[in-house]
Amino acid sequence: MPMKAVLYTFQRDDPVHRFRDDLPQLQWAIASSPQDVAREIGDADILVLTNRVCSPELGEALHRAAPASLGWIHFLTAGVERGLAMGLPPGAAVSNASGLKARTVAEHALTLLLAVMRRFPDLQAAQRAHAWRRVEMQPKLSSLEGATVCIIGLGGVGREVARKVKAFDARTVAVSRAGVPGGDVDVVLPRERIGEALGEADAVVVCTSSDASSRHLVGAAQLAAMKPGACLVNIARGEILDEAALVQALRDGRVGGAGLDVTEIEPLPPDSPLWDMPNVIVSPHVAGAGSKDYAQQKALFSANLERFRAGAPLLNQIAR
């Protein structure tokens, strides 16, 4: 009998549903709800899912119905925090897709950063008003050329942001748990020196992963340590940034502008002041969209399938 894999994603038209045809050595069951997972997981060896579908209901379904034979849980996302929070069967190895969308996410980060530094919200407001505000706008614009960009987190996305920023002739200072230099980063500092890194920065890009140690890693004290008028972009997780402190720093002019693809509460509540702030750009958690990563997803899963069958450690295996 072939191994059985249960696939549960947020979208029924997700390209990874091609796994059924491209990996016929597995018996595939497609789930679209926690109830489907509970019905199918009883004789499964593998669970394939995304961080987004993880919920207390799914955690309960797994707790109730997952068999001891469930040996591997693979996340098609880099993020796994929702899965860890809901509870995963303790005997299963867990892997993720860290790095697969790094280039696309970094591209979105740079888009937000450039749009904030070049004051695109103001430029678009002037366009809508049919107003040629050249004299007014020129002093407000800033450039990455010669600027110092602080990158918080040196995983796949952080390294890719550093590589792209270098093409704009910017200097890079990174804040990393490991504090190990390399790649396109000029200086790497440990988290304990985050205030020092922020004090040098004309722009900050938050790329670090979310866990208990990173909640409000960038709070009021860190925002106060930034250069007055510096810009901030967050394409990681909303809870890493103290949103209330950011709103106040934007109002005070301490932070010159922000580009946010993630927020503490998603969707961003309609009454959030961030929607209407003239120096803020909000995108709805879409930084990874547009990535042509199916071939990479398939290659990673296939390589790990061979490792799983051989009893070898998985690529991108999550310690827990």
CA–CA separation, 165 vs 149, rounded Å?
A: 8
Q: What's the helix, strand, coil split of the chain in %, to 5?
A: 40, 20, 40
- Tell me, rounded to whole angstroms, the distance of Cα 82 from its chain centroid: 13
Asked if 238 and 266 count as a contact pair (C-beta separation under 8 A), the reply is yes
Active site residues: 237, 266, 285
Dist. CA 5–CA 167, nearest whole Å: 43
Q: Where are the alpha helices (DSSP H) in the chain?
A: 19-22, 34-40, 56-65, 81-86, 102-117, 120-128, 134-137, 156-166, 194-200, 220-225, 243-252, 294-310
Q: In what order do the strands lie in the sheet with 171-176?
A: 187-190, 171-176, 148-152, 203-206, 230-234, 255-260, 280-282
CB within 8 Å of 56: residues ≥ 6 apart? 86
**Which among 205, 117, 113 is positioned nearest to 159, based on CA atoms?**
205
Nearest 5°: the CA angle 60, 62, 65 is 105
- C-alpha 315/C-alpha 320 separation (Å) is 15
